[in-house]
Amino acid sequence: MPTTGLEVRLTEGRERAEVGRFTRTLDEIVRSLREIDRIYLRKGTRATWVMAGLSQDRQRDELIVRLEARPRSSERTAEDMLKPVEALVTGAARLAEVPEVPEYFSPTTVGRLGELATPQEGVQQVSLAPYNGQVGQEVRLTDAIQKNAQEAVNPFEISYGSVVGVVEVLGTARKNSLRLNVFEADSRRPIQAYMGSEEAEQVRQLWLHRVLLGGIIKRNRRGQAIRIDVDRVSQMPENDDGRPSTDELLGIDPGWLGSRSVDDYLREVRGEG
């Protein structure tokens, strides 16, 4: 059966959960679902998330909230609009194991889960699970998620390079600078990009188009690009049509080594005489 909603459990401590913490937790989870949905589907009708149930498990000292997506139109099926639930729970489970940015997650979403994993204001733990009449696999936001989330968005390596993706989210980071997300189709993740005002107008015209961005790239310990400070922008073809395949490139210049063998060429490159 398809997923019908997200179950959120808030485990209370000796003190009851503060109202502010309760409402902020739900707000941050809904923000995460919306972020994932924008990455999953760049164009389309967005769901309105509603609270479909609220109860209390006194034996486990838990508040239980069920969230469901209410369609605004018939453009998307209910099953499709609930893809963010599956991605959020799957990503949280992945983040509990390794310090990386999961598919359809932005660094902002990762940081948000890390914050939700921090006990505070009467809430000791938050857990997430899909449900469809019965609750699916539950993922608890533990200390491991808090630690891995921090490491996943922490720059480990800085180098000059380029990334290719679709411009998705535009916003002002600070005076005379622009912040945007560039979605990489291969990794199914957005990369945060920052640039000066001189490239801003060009990028605004390329919204939802494929671009190549060059600049200083910051990567996490697992080699994932999490941020690029852009110094050049160029538009790319919207897909790979017309680009040569590896089969076409293989053997394109069979005589480029001349009379030398591959071993002789490598010794020459290495300066081994």
Residue 262 lies in a domain: no
Indicate if 175 and 145 belong to the same structural domain.
Answer: no
pLDDT beyond 90 at 257: no
Looking at the structure, tell me whether residues 36 and 106 fall in a common domain.
Answer: yes
Are both 100 and 67 inside the same structural domain? yes
CB 230 within 8 A of CB 210: no
Residue 261 lies in a domain: no
CA distance 110 to 101: 7
Q: How far apart are CA 45 and CA 41, in angstroms?
A: 9
69: β partners = 49
Cβ neighbours of residue 241 under 8 Å, at least 6 residues apart? none
Looking at the fold, whether 188 and 216 belong to one and the same domain comes out as yes
Instruction: State how far the Cα of 25 lies from the Cα of 33, in Å rounded to an integer.
Output: 12
Q: Is the pLDDT of residue 123 over 70?
A: yes
Residue 85 lies in a domain: yes
User: In terms of domains, do 147 and 178 share one?
Assistant: no
Structural domain for 174, as ranges: 157-235
Task: Please enumerate in sequence order all residues whose Cβ is within 8 A of that of 223, keeping only pairs 6 or more positions apart, or say none.
Answer: 157
142 and 42 share a domain?
A: yes
Of 127, 152, 177, the residue that ends a domain is: 152
Check whether residue 16 and residue 118 sit in a common domain: yes
pLDDT tens for each residue of 39-77: 888 777 888 899 999 998 888 889 999 999 987 777 788
Tell me the pLDDT tens digit for each residue of 174-203: 666 788 888 888 888 989 998 877 766 777
* pLDDT at residue 222 in the model: 93
* Contact (Cβ atoms closer than 8 angstroms) between residue 34 and residue 82: no
pLDDT per residue as tens digits for the range 94-122: 999 999 999 999 999 999 999 999 988 88
